Chains A and B, each alone.
Chain A
Amino acid sequence: MSLLDLDGVTLDYLGRNGTVRALDRVCLTLGRGRILGLVGESGSGKSSLALAIMGLLPPGTARLGGRMTLDGADLSERAGACRGRSLAMVFQDPMSALNPVFTLGSQLVDAQRARFPGAPRRVLLERARAMLGRTGIAEPERRLRAYPHELSGGSRQRVLIAMALLCEPDLLIADEPVTALDVTIAAQIMALFEELRDGLAGSMIFISHSLALVSRLCDEVAVLYAGTLVETAPTSTLFAAPRHPYTRALIACETDEGSGRLPVIPGTVPSLAGPAAACVFAPRCPLCADRCRAEAPLLRDLGGGQRAACHFA
């Protein structure tokens, strides 16, 4: 049985100037112990999806439809109770994700309270120390007494990864965890994720705008475009035989190394006001035909675990 099941998840943000459809009927499953790469450009809805799963959407302005289950239990009402127990998240900006007025030790202990109620502080602190060592923090003993400002961005992200792992979550969501870091530091954190991947008991969703980053880490990849899941496949299949024109274009944008003109996806991401009657990618698609403008393609099973939402896939 799958760990995470998303069935027709739709998310509308209600604003003064109308409704924005951030996610449109997203269907996705994630098996136990699997790592899913969630890829898309800005505005594709990847962070919204993460916040929806975590139950962190702004109350009042977000309207969520469809069904989300974690381990068979409906998530829409109990996400709050799951956070810090079966759900954990690593955010993009390590500089603002830690509380500046508490030591790392006390924050790492507090993060475990929900998961291990009643455990003595001494035990939780020792777990924290061991986990900091695993995530590559030098002198973890000393670091437990340090405040966040004493650490570099890369080290803070290591601390946040340690904090998430200390909860032993069934599902860990990492939202662009290296985007805010320098290239050589980002490579170190990616190496850490690759090291941890085999020791990871739960599943992970790794969100990124970069296909290159997910290609090495993830078992499967899901590509989001303008709130629509356009393709999902096992990683090797997706890169060897992408079926959606958007996936193909994205791969071309990242692989081209020759000189001369660079591959470009013409046009821009469409406005998300209201549900679309057509394929969301139609205005930028080289294969676009009349049918694409009249009828939104459904995500179709193409065999081998690959699905694509394109009339011509």
Chain B
Amino acid sequence: MTALLAAEGVGIGFGRLTAVADASLTLGAGETLGLVGESGSGKSSLAKALIGLVPLRAGRVLIEGRDIAGLDRAGRLGLRRRAQIVLQDAAASLSPRFTVARLIAEPLRIHGMAQARMAPLVERLGLAALLARYPHELSGGQAKRVALARALVLEPKLLVADEPTAGLDISVQGEMLNLLARLRERLGLGLLLVSHDLAVIRRVSDRIAVLYLGRIVETGPTRAVFRQPAHPYSAGLIASTPVIDPERRQRRRALDGELPSPFAPPPGCAFHPRCPQARELCRRVTPTPAVVGEDRAASCHFPLTEA
């Protein structure tokens, strides 16, 4: 079966900055892939490149088996129908001069589709009362729902959601995530969820990909990775995520050091200066993804779990 989305050796750069190097991943229809990383890890660049919003320096991206590079105008229009994105700053992605109704109708107009298509979506996302409003009259959560409606009104196969819960209070985060999960089920969406928040990724993703300094360091089923991370960075990230622990039972094992500058990444494994178990080999040789379990891969010379 052809994967809905397949990235093969994707490289992205801006000037002398290498934002993403050698990234490969796949996403099936109806599946949720969580892309997790800290700021500067390249997750937003990769997310945008996967639907053709950022040019590639290397590799290729296939959506439903078709290469998205070098498409003509009609091809790009067709791609937009199949693959949509909700940007991180949803409020800023909405034109301040359009009402909510016009914002949601705009993609339909561009694609020459019937305006009637938006009614059920407006209903489902609870936007009926907001149709006459302008973006500045929306709360953060409402703006996110409008951006989501705009993306979904074309009934895409693939939805990329960049930090869909960032800036939302914890009591409404669940609402947004439940909504995404419901829509995924009902529409058979492939969902690429980008977040720095492991708690969010853990709740809704089938599989996760962990990014560090522009490289995917680990991929695998969410549950397996959380139970026993293979890459020391994944382990450090998971251990750094705060949990309710009033008796202080868990020992804190925070990672030392900080994210190095992506302009001058360390030689060998980019994680070695912060890695608690780095050895000589790690300083010289960049590790490549190796199988570390069923449907799991990690780019580490000395993974914490063996295949």
A interface residues with partner B (beta carbon < 8 Å)? 41-42, 152, 154-155, 182-188, 190-191, 194, 209-213, 215-216, 235-236, 238-240, 249-251, 253-257, 259, 261-265, 268-269
Contact = CB atoms under 8 A, between A and B. Distances in A.
A209 B139 CA distance: 18
Contacts of B70: none
A255 B178 CA distance: 16
Contacts of A194: 252
Contact of B171 (A41, A182, A188, A210): A41
Interface residues of B, number: 39
Contacts of B197: 183
Nearest to A192: B254
A26 to B, nearest CB: 20
B244 A239 contact: yes
Contacts of A209: 169-170
Given A183-B38, A184-B236, A268-B172, A216 B248 contact: yes
B305 interface: no
Interface string B164-184: 000001111111011001000
B203 A256 contact: yes
Contacts of B169: 41-42, 209, 269
Interface in B50-92: none
Nearest to A256: B203
A249 B171 contact: yes
A212 B242 contact: yes
Given A184-B240, A187-B255, A262 B39 contact: no
| Dominant SS among interface residues on chain A | helix
Nearest to A155: B258
B252 A187 contact: yes
A154 B258 contact: yes
Contacts of B254: 184, 187-188, 190-191
Given A188-B256, A251-B244, A264-B172, 4 more contacts: A183-B198, A184-B254, A212-B244, A238-B246
B202 interface: yes
Contacts of B240: 183-184, 186-187
A152 B141 CA distance: 31
Given A182-B38, A187-B239, A191-B254, A253 B173 contact: yes
Interface in B116-148: 139, 141
A55 to B, nearest CB: 28
A208 to B, nearest CB: 9
Contacts of B177: 262
B246 A236 contact: yes
